[in-house]
Amino acid sequence: MHIPTNGGAMAALQMLGGIIPAKENTLNQVSTGKSISSANHNAAIWAISQIMEADVSGFSALSDSLSLGEATLSVASAGAEFATDILGEMRQLAILGTGQNVDHSKIETQMQHLTSQLNSVIDSSQFNGVNLLKTDIDGTGASSLTIAASLDRQGSATPTLTNITVDSLDLEGSPSFDINNRTAITDGASALTALQEIEGFMQYAIDGAAALGASTRQVSDQNQFVGQLADATRLGISNLTDTNMEESITRLMAMETQHQLGLISLSIANSMPNALLKL
């Protein structure tokens, strides 16, 4: 007896053969949250996402560099501002010393104490071994701090690194701030000379503190901008590669139903030849 080919079973198998891979792909999207997680899903989009992921990693490193630089500058700026306060006290003492009916030796003793305090402020205004108030800021002879600030990419070219450079204020060895060799106050005339010197020192420190403050603000703003760039890039990657969970789950449920219907159809198609054989 000849039994013809079971066309119903073949049709059911073909339907199942198409549903199962699609179902597995959708299930993978739901489980990973990614519609494109490897190059075989969409090579072009995957390649773009990888470049953007590398940029995000670069932004993270930049943020660390900027945060470290900002902290270093903040400490130096605070030290410079405190130095100007001490110089203000020295200025008052020098003015007092210009009088004739004062104890100049006591004034000089106070001046020496303030000078020692000022040197202590200069020495301690360091963060992570970098002191922007000294001639040699880090013990290697460097006179400026370099902070990685941005990664600039044009087209497919390799990104270039842009830095922010901040020069040392140098309250240690600058001829404009020779506080340790100021004129000693012994009388009214020497007090007047010391006052003129301190006025110059104070102006130098104020200008330097203002410059450090401006640099601190620049680095802080750049750090904020880099953070916004990283967030925007992550959002772009998400838009390119993330799956629409509601859509994928709905599609998965529909495929599950199709899968069940395919199995039922295959079962029915396979039962028909068995019924014929019984006859």
Residue with the bigger pLDDT between 21 and 110: it is 110
Whole-number pLDDT of residue 276: 44
Q: What is the pLDDT of residues 131-186, one digit of tens each?
A: 999 999 999 999 999 999 998 877 767 788 999 999 999 999 899 999 999 999 99
Q: How confident is the model at residue 48 (pLDDT cuts 50, 70, 90)?
A: confident
Secondary element (H or E) of residue 28: helix 7-32
pLDDT at 206 over 80: yes
Give the residue extent of every domain in the chain.
64-241, 248-272
- Name the least confident of 74-78, 236-240, 241-245, 271-275: 271-275
3-state SS class at 149: strand
Encoded tokens for 46 = 């995957």
Distance CA 137, CA 75 (A): 13
pLDDT at 84 over 70: yes
Average pLDDT over residues 244-270: 62
Per DSSP, helices labelled H in 98-164 are 104-124
Average pLDDT over residues 93-121: 95
Average pLDDT over residues 273-278: 50
The pTM of this model reads 0.72
Q: Are 209 and 77 in contact (CB under 8 A)?
A: yes
Give the closest residue to 121 by CA, choosing from 130, 109, 134, 112. Answer: 134
Residue with the bigger pLDDT between 21 and 90: it is 90
Q: Are 72 and 127 in contact (CB under 8 A)?
A: yes
Average pLDDT over residues 109-120: 97
Whole-number pLDDT of residue 113: 97
Whole-number pLDDT of residue 112: 97
CATH 1.10.510.10 for domain 64-241, yes or no, is no
Q: Are 29 and 243 in contact (CB under 8 A)?
A: yes
